Amino acid sequence: MKKWILGVIGGSGLYEIDGVENGRWERIESPWGPASDEVYRGTLNGIDIVFLPRHGRGHNISPTHLNFRANIDVLKRCGVTDILSLSAVGSLREDYKPGDFVMVDQFIDRTFAREKSFFGQGVVAHVSMAHPVCERLAHMAADAADLLDVTVHRGGTYLVMEGPQFSTLAESKLYRQWGCDVIGMTNMPEAKLAREAEMSYATIGMVTDYDCWHEEEDNVSVTNVLEVLKGNADLARATVKNIVEAMTKMDRRPTDQGIETGLDFALITPPEARDSKLLNKLDAVAGRVLK
């Protein structure tokens, strides 16, 4: 039975959690290139935890230029079993208000300038993304946030746009017509790559604004996003602590969704036709099925 190792992707201040023991920054090399930053590793209540600042310390990498493959690869190399993503999102619903937390359960991927798979020319694989979020981890995250002074919405569809510009008014209205609940720039292809790497993944969307569709609210700006995020920083850290506390009380068993074995029937290229260079790069994310 695998032990819990929690990976957290989010703002650069998330690692500043009281009680982390043996905390240290480590650079993990990846064949997919440099990750956003070093990882901050430590132990919290006996649970190994690995933090990765998504945009780097100092927020110097735009969403389009994030090396998502390297980020997921280095977490896999650290032994991470479960990834919690904390992300700023805009609300596309009246009742999802700035300051609220949303436990996302679906995505619509509208990005177009990013590498979205570890597989490709030489080793082809197709994983199921019907249910892109780990239900167990999402439930644990929602329960952890419920213990705090924050409104928690269980479920929501996250429209992932390319950015870095915010939406036009026409786009914002269109996404509302599609039934999307929140909008952001960062969780795709992050969730797809986590599934390819057979790692549980869940997202807490921290609502910062109403995008630009709401006639009675200011249009989204960096200023109001940062203001709300600053107010939510302590809540985000407390949520992580509460998830870790829950992990100390239960064994980590395989998920009912079969996430840990997602590659069993995904590889379509026969062994004799696989590209050796790509196979070498896949040693961490797909090593279980390629040995």
Verify whether residue 211 is a known catalytic residue: yes
pLDDT in tens, 96-114: 999 999 999 999 999 999 9
Predicted pLDDT of residue 144? 97
Tokens of 12: 């650069």
Beta bridge partners of 53: 10
Give the pLDDT band of residue 14 (cuts 50, 70, 90). confident
Give the pLDDT band of residue 1 (cuts 50, 70, 90). low
pLDDT in tens, 112-148: 999 999 999 999 999 999 999 999 999 999 999 999 9
Alpha helix positions (H), 187-254: 190-196, 222-247
Ramachandran assignment for 139, one of left (phi > 0), alpha (psi -120 to 50 degrees), beta (any other): alpha
Beta bridge partners of 84: 8, 202
Verify whether residue 209 is a known catalytic residue: yes
pLDDT in tens, 144-157: 999 999 999 999 99
Rounded to whole angstroms, how far apart are CA atoms 30 and 98?
37
Q: Which of 209, 234, 264, 283 is catalytic?
A: 209
Amino acid at 143: D
- What's the mean pLDDT when you consider all of the chain? 94
Domains (ranges, CATH) in the chain? 85-290 (3.40.50.1580)
pLDDT in tens, 20-36: 999 999 999 999 999 99
Q: Which of 18, 149, 211, 234 is catalytic?
A: 211
Predicted pLDDT of residue 222? 65
Inter-helix orientation angle 222-247/135-146, to 10°: 100
Rounded to whole angstroms, how far apart are CA atoms 192 and 216?
36
In this structure, are residues 11 and 234 in contact, taking their beta carbons and an 8 Å threshold? no
Predicted pLDDT of residue 219? 62
Rounded to whole angstroms, how far apart are CA atoms 140 and 146?
10
Does 59 score more than 70 pLDDT? yes
